[in-house]
Structure 1
Amino acid sequence: MAVSLGLQLDEESVRRLLAIRRDLLERVSELEEEIRRIREVVRVIEETLTAQGFRRAAESSSGLEVPLRSSDGRLLAVMYVYEGRLRIVPSGELEFRTSTPPFRSFLIDRVFEGMRRADERRVGEGALSPDEVFRYEVRSDGDVIRSIEVWNYGGERRLGEIKSAVRWTLERMYEKTAVRG
């Protein structure tokens, strides 16, 4: 859409404006390239932190084992951390159901779906490829949760968010089932 300001420019003014426009477009290209390089560095840093961040947890040959405990010390689940993938397995002593709040309303709808939507937006911005989008699957027998599989969880920060959200959710679910029975 062209907008005319009703100004008559002499040839020199037009040349200067074209030069300024060319310089600005060059600068935009330089900044876009710089942003791309910075994102790549951030990705490498996140991968490095993820690899280093859970060294204190018990290491198994199949991945890192991170126990998720309630505030009173009861084992709620074990989170197995692999490269680009998580597997969360509830304690065999407890039975968590997908219908028990806040599993669906908080963990699934708010946390996991929020992460997936954020990644979808990043795909739209060109910052993430479609095969790097956060995804998850709840594996259950009927209503009883057997495991939660997560792929493309991202870096250390997101891993911490997932750990915290899962622990908090399972603790609330445990409290509700302990009260019932």
Structure 2
Amino acid sequence: MEDENLRKIAELREILEERIKSLEAEIEGLKIILEFVNNLLLEKSFRRVEEITTQKITEKAPTPPAKEPTKVIPLKTSSGELLAYIYVEDKNLRVIPEADKKFDYKTPPFESFLIEKVLTKMREVDQEAVKRSELMPDEALSFNVKLEGDIIREIFIRNVSPQRERELRSAIRWTLEKMYEKTKGA
């Protein structure tokens, strides 16, 4: 009887340790996002106007990738509402919004945060590394946003390092959740 109780307590301890590790990873992701938000607030008055490189498409709904992705990551709100899927293929990420979600690229914080503060900054860092010959030009991060009208159909990000994948996943989820909250409230 006592051995059974000890075994259950040991199992409970393992569950708690795993949960703590999971929460610590989530906190790290939130700290990264908070740093971006703080930088955004500091630089808001010095904001550059940049065009989003977009590609107009005519298809009604995006199709999942033809090539089998390495992994598929669902992005959900904190309340569990499905926002989009990230398809990881080699060093590329394809973000495809859930079919019933209509994310307008003009809705903040898409351009001001995700495009300017996250993706453009990462691209600039890689371009500087290319100039210093630390990175080959075809290894630099690049991205493309596919729209149907003003609605985001796909965000395609090339040359994503494993270190950046987690950061991008957190930033994209946070951005889409904020956009969803704004459109849901409208």
Aligned counterpart in structure 2 of residue 73 of structure 1, from 80, 92, 100: 80
Aligned counterpart in structure 2 of residue 175 of structure 1, from 177, 181, 185: 181
Match of 1:16 in 2: none
Question: Matched residue of 2:116: which SS?
Answer: helix
Q: TM-score, normalised by structure 2?
A: 0.63
| C-alpha deviation, 1:61, in angstroms | 7.0
Give unmatched runs, 5+ long, in structure 1. 1-59
Question: Matched residue of 1:106: which SS?
Answer: helix
Deviations 1:9-42 (A, max 9, x none): xxxxxxxxxxxxxxxxxxxxxxxxxxxxxxxxxx
- Please give the alpha-carbon distance, in whole angstroms, between the structure 1 residues aligned to 2:85 and 2:142: 19
Question: Matched residues, percent identical?
Answer: 43
Deviations 1:104-156 (A, max 9, x none): 000001100000000011112211011111000000101000010111112x2
Match of 1:114 in 2: 121
Query: Is 2:144 aligned against 1:137?
Result: yes
Larger RCO, structure (CA 8 Å, separation 6 or more): 2
Deviations 1:30-66 (A, max 9, x none): xxxxxxxxxxxxxxxxxxxxxxxxxxxxxx9711100
Match of 1:165 in 2: 171
Deviations 1:63-98 (A, max 9, x none): 110000000000000000010111000011110010
The number of residue pairs the alignment matches comes to 120
Letter in 1 for 2:118: V
Question: Which stretch of the first structure deviates more once superposed, 121-130 or 107-116?
Answer: 121-130
Q: Structure 1 runs of 4+ off > 3 angstroms?
A: none
Match of 2:130 in 1: 123
Letter in 1 for 2:81: R
Give unmatched runs, 5+ long, in structure 2. 1-65
Aligned counterpart in structure 2 of residue 84 of structure 1, from 68, 85, 91: 91
Equivalences for 1:24-43 in 2 at 5 Å?
none
- Please give the alpha-carbon distance, in whole angstroms, between the structure 2 residues aligned to 1:128 and 1:161: 20
- Please give the alpha-carbon distance, in whole angstroms, between the structure 1 residues aligned to 2:68 and 2:75: 18
Instruction: Kindly report the root-mean-square deviation, in angstroms, between the aligned alpha carbons of the 2 structures.
Output: 1.3
Q: TM-score, normalised by structure 1?
A: 0.64
Instruction: Determine which structure has more spread, i.e. the larger CA radius of gyration.
Output: 1
- Please give the alpha-carbon distance, in whole angstroms, between the structure 1 residues aligned to 2:168 and 2:159: 12
Question: Matched residue of 1:98: which SS?
Answer: coil
